[in-house]
Amino acid sequence: MSSERKAVQKLVSGIPGFDFISEGGLPRSRTTLLTGSAGSGKTVFALQFLVAGIRQYRQHGVLVTFEEEPAELIANVASLGWDLEEMISANALAIVDASPVPGEVVVETGNFDLVALLARIEHAVRQVSAQRVILDSIGAIFAQFHSPHAVRRELQRIAVGLRQMGVTTLLTAERTDEYGAVSRFGVEEFIADNVVILRNQLEHEKRRRTVEILKYRGTTHQKGEYPFTIDSADGVTIVPLSAINLTQKSSEMRISSGNEQVDEMCSNGIFRDSIILVSGATGTGKTLMVTEFIKAAIADGKRALLFAFEESREQLHRNALSWGIDFADAEERGILKVVCCYPESMSLEDHLIHMKRYIAQHDPQRIAVDSLSALERVSSTRSFREFVLGVTSHIKAKETAGMFTNTTPALMGGESITETHISTITDSIILLRYVELQGEMRRGIAVLKMRGSCHDKDIREYVITSNGMEIKEKFHGINGILAGTPVFSLASERQQLDSMFKYDTRRQDRTRATDTP
């Protein structure tokens, strides 16, 4: 007689990003251990699981608190917009207060059990018809009693009891090391069917939170660590890199870069849904290209969004006005939004969430980021690449044109880490380079790459005037411009020497004619 296999059913958590990496949510009617170090976001994550269930899916919940008093918890999460008191009044949430009484001394005598606590939880579950339960934090029980084996036995009793009630449960617990033992006492992970680890590690003097599903008994999930952030608007938001799919549409429509001569180099403009990287040393005119890119949107009455990480709004307005572009007027009319923020003010995950939020609010047809290298300097290579992938994929999914700038560390030629790590992500790369010739500093522009289109292969000279960027003829007879070591070719040198020799001969002839009596 063949037995029919039943797949583990999952309960949608309602936490952005988590249902993707867990491939559907938390296993239904089972217990999941949520463990992490101090500040990793365990309580917020667990409470968001309850709040999302009540708000989004009409699934009531029970909160069992072992450490914080209910009034304290209610006040702490009010800043996230979660009104727990209202949920309690609506009979959608019940709180079981198992926190220690202030001043009370716990004396362990003989055997003990948690049958009374289980009865209180069961009563609360029935009272509100709960489907979701969280126990925060079970480590407090270990702190009060000396027998870990007895505590493990009793927590196992609670886990079995909750499973019989048909509720999906989250147990939170502390750990002392980000990459050490799963839990503090070494037994918590054996109580639960599933284990989720939250980390709060220090990278480049910044805290970076990540989540990892370590164990999901009887079901599949995404492997590895995924960054997440916590803010007052959305609570916990996980940013899974694996959620990015190469499914965006591709348009044949071209738009102007804001500079007619650049458009000519790009075969009559750039694609509407392309990402352009403008790379160059400081002072080569990257912000000018962004300004002209935004100018084209303003001229067409299209909405544009500029994220600036190196200059203030007033500086950008002043610079644009010097080139005849009125950013202030465009902002007043609502077709331009300039967002200025120091890279160090938040993590890259927070920057990504905020940028997506501004994009959703403004719904722009053009987006510019000035500059990526400013963000690169305050992050690790891995987190920076994840950030860039997140931004570019989001912009491409909206079929919006994007322009990013990058400052190269070398004044003359060379490449930066930014170019090597995101060159494959961007559709077009425009290089701006200084060219030193005969003791004079000049500038050169080249279209290095333009995906899906032919483009000008020449390196052209350009100057920056009050009208913006003016592109001249290509450099003739000069090699090594992109490498930062420009030299004249042999033929060019011979032409120059012949010209100098002829000039010198003519000058000598004139001198002799003048000296002749």
Query: Are both 341 and 458 inside the same structural domain?
Result: yes
Comparing C-alpha atoms, which of 232, 117, 36, 56 is closest to residue 46? 36
Structure token pair of residue 366: 């053009």
Query: Are both 230 and 274 inside the same structural domain?
Result: no
pLDDT surpassing 90 at residue 322 = yes
Whole-number average pLDDT of the chain: 85
Range with the poorest average pLDDT among 21-30, 145-154, 167-176, 391-400: 145-154
Contacts of 509 (CB under 8 A, 6+ apart): none
Query: Are both 211 and 261 inside the same structural domain?
Result: no
Contacts of 114 (CB under 8 A, 6+ apart): 141, 154, 155, 157, 158
- pLDDT tens figures, 425-437: 788 999 999 888 8
- pLDDT tens figures, 449-486: 898 889 998 999 999 999 999 999 988 777 776 666 66
Domain boundary among 243, 276, 293: 243
Query: Are both 274 and 204 inside the same structural domain?
Result: no
Length of the chain (residues): 517
Confidence of residue 4 (pLDDT cuts 50, 70, 90): very low
pLDDT surpassing 60 at residue 108 = no
Domain boundary among 199, 220, 243: 243
Q: Is residue 212 part of a domain?
A: yes
Q: Is residue 466 part of a domain?
A: yes
Q: Is residue 499 part of a domain?
A: no
Q: Give the single-character DSSP code of 301.
A: T
Range with the poorest average pLDDT among 99-113, 117-131, 284-298, 393-407: 99-113
Query: Are both 206 and 264 inside the same structural domain?
Result: no
CA 503, 504, 505, 510 torsion-angle sign: positive
Q: Which domain holds residue 311?
A: 254-490
* Alpha-carbon gap, residue 206 to 245, rounded angstroms: 29
Specify the pLDDT at position 509. Answer: 58
Specify the pLDDT at position 515. Answer: 56
Helix (H, G, I), strand (E, B) or coil at 455: coil
From residue 349, give the alpha-carbon distance in Å to each of 239, 379, 391, 467: 7, 11, 10, 38
Specify the pLDDT at position 179. Answer: 83
- pLDDT tens figures, 233-280: 889 999 887 556 555 666 778 999 999 999 999 999 999 889 999 999
Domain boundary among 200, 222, 243: 243
Specify the pLDDT at position 358. Answer: 96
Confidence of residue 210 (pLDDT cuts 50, 70, 90): very high
Query: Are both 308 and 187 inside the same structural domain?
Result: no
Q: Is residue 262 part of a domain?
A: yes
Confidence of residue 127 (pLDDT cuts 50, 70, 90): very high
Instruction: Specify whether 67 is catalytic.
Output: yes
Query: Are both 73 and 176 inside the same structural domain?
Result: yes
Please, are residues 170 and 135 in contact by the beta-carbon 8 Å criterion? yes
* Alpha-carbon gap, residue 384 to 380, rounded angstroms: 6
Query: Are both 421 and 476 inside the same structural domain?
Result: yes
- Reduce the secondary structure of 146-157 to three states and give it as a string: CCHHHHHHHHHH
From residue 136, give the alpha-carbon distance in Å to each of 167, 169, 178: 16, 11, 19
Instruction: Specify whether 178 is catalytic.
Output: no
Please, are residues 389 and 270 in contact by the beta-carbon 8 Å criterion? no
pLDDT surpassing 50 at residue 232 = yes
Q: Is residue 512 part of a domain?
A: no
pLDDT surpassing 80 at residue 149 = no
- Domain count of the chain? 2
Confidence of residue 91 (pLDDT cuts 50, 70, 90): very high
Q: Is residue 1 part of a domain?
A: no
Query: Are both 232 and 266 inside the same structural domain?
Result: no
pLDDT surpassing 90 at residue 287 = yes
Specify the pLDDT at position 419. Answer: 54
Mean pLDDT of 1-13: 71
DSSP per-residue string spanning 364-425: -SEEEEE-HHHHHTTS-HHHHHHHHHHHHHHHHHTT-EEEEEEE-SSSSS---HHHHHHTTT
Query: Are both 215 and 336 inside the same structural domain?
Result: no
Q: Is residue 225 part of a domain?
A: yes
Kindly report the CATH number assigned to the domain that includes residue 317: 3.40.50.300
Specify the pLDDT at position 102. Answer: 60
pLDDT surpassing 80 at residue 185 = no
pLDDT surpassing 80 at residue 158 = yes
Q: Is residue 280 part of a domain?
A: yes
pLDDT surpassing 90 at residue 417 = no
Confidence of residue 302 (pLDDT cuts 50, 70, 90): very high
Query: Are both 73 and 203 inside the same structural domain?
Result: yes
* Alpha-carbon gap, residue 368 to 334, rounded angstroms: 16
What is the pTM assigned to this prediction? 0.80
Mean pLDDT of 82-110: 79
Within 13 Å, how many C-alpha atoms sit on residue 150's CB side? 15
Query: Are both 82 and 218 inside the same structural domain?
Result: yes
Confidence of residue 340 (pLDDT cuts 50, 70, 90): very high
Specify the pLDDT at position 512. Answer: 54
Exactly one of 69, 203, 310, 399 is catalytic; name it.
310
* Alpha-carbon gap, residue 86 to 14, rounded angstroms: 20
Mean pLDDT of 497-514: 54
Q: How are strands ordered across the β-sheet holding 93-97? A: 93-97, 60-65, 130-136, 168-174, 31-36, 194-203, 206-216, 225-231, 235-238
